[in-house]
Amino acid sequence: MKKSLLLVALLSAGVAFAGPPAPHQGGIESKDYKWNAQEGEKIEALKLKGDKKNGQEAYEVCGACHLPSGAGRPDGTFPQLAGQHTTVLIKQMADIRAGLRDNPTMYPFAATLTDPQELADVSSYIESLCIPIEHGKYEGPDAAMQIAKGKELYEKQCLECHGKNGEGEKAKFYPVIAGQHYKYLLRQMTEIRDGHRRNANPDMVKVIKPYTNDQLVAISAYQSSLVMPGNMCKPKAGAAATKKK
């Protein structure tokens, strides 16, 4: 079945979606938790070369929520995916499929990927997309102050892993955060701090655990202001996202 037809079938099915697997016994609350164990379909997908053309077709299902451009939603309901490292995408999708990350909204769509090769294909396609310039940023009247406070926190504790421009590190599974929506960043960091993101990196949990709500607002405001030179979409109003060259 073509992905476009499958998408229609999924969206029309509504309550007929199969539920996600039971939560895996592992997770940050477990003493045996291994953040990035090299096993299962994840490790198989990481060994494969992704086919962007096939990945574009597979992505049609994802585009219903994350948009064809990979821009996601500024209100933070769905993250910006475009330009994300394949390693990060593969890990997160594999974790959702395996019940290591609780995301009942995404699970039915992630479950449509048939095997490690398709996981590699769609991740390769998403990584090739340029990062949208227009995305959800902190818009409070105190934006300049919040960004300045967030910059200080970021450079002290986040820069080493996520990079000066929010570029992350592909080999270490550290995500790109440049171009990400403020509200999504704030929600995820709050969930990590509060122990609700079960597949979180324990090192990041340690960093975020002491943060107050105000500090999370500030650092999310700063992170959402970051851009990656050479990876951003061209500033052309109303134009569809193009692939990075």
Q: 13-22, 77-86, 160-169: which has the minimum mean pLDDT?
A: 13-22
- Taking CA atoms, 183 is separated from 63, 104, 138, 210, 219, in Å, by 20, 19, 8, 20, 11
- pLDDT class of 227 with cuts at 50, 70, 90: very high
Contact 215, 208 (CB under 8 A): no
Q: What is the mean pLDDT of residues 103-132?
A: 93
Whole-number Å distance between alpha carbons of 126 and 231: 13
pLDDT beyond 80 at 242:
no
Q: What whole-number distance in Å separates Cα of residue 169 and Cα of residue 50? A: 19
Contact 138, 220 (CB under 8 A): yes
Residue type, 4: S
| DSSP per residue, 151-215 | HHHHHHHTHHHH-TTS--BGGGTBPP-TT--HHHHHHHHHHHHTT--TT--HHHHHHHTT--HHH
23: part of which helix (H) or strand (E)?
Answer: none
- Tokens describing residue 170: 């592909």
Question: Three-state DSSP class for 230?
Answer: coil
Residue-range domains of the chain with CATH: 143-223 (1.10.760.10)
Q: What is the pLDDT of residue 229?
A: 94
Question: Are the C-beta atoms of 99 and 21 separated by less than 8 Å?
Answer: yes
- Residue 164's pLDDT is what? 97
13-72 per-position pLDDT tens digit: 333 345 666 555 555 556 566 778 777 899 999 999 999 999 999 999 999 999 999 999
Given a cut of 70, whether residue 188 has pLDDT beyond it is yes
pLDDT of residue 6 exceeding 50: no
Neighbours of 48 (CB within 10 A): 18
So what's the pLDDT on residue 134?
Answer: 92
Residue 145 has pLDDT above 50, yes or no: yes
**For residue 140, what pLDDT band results from cuts at 50, 70 and 90?**
very high
Q: What is the pTM of this model?
A: 0.86
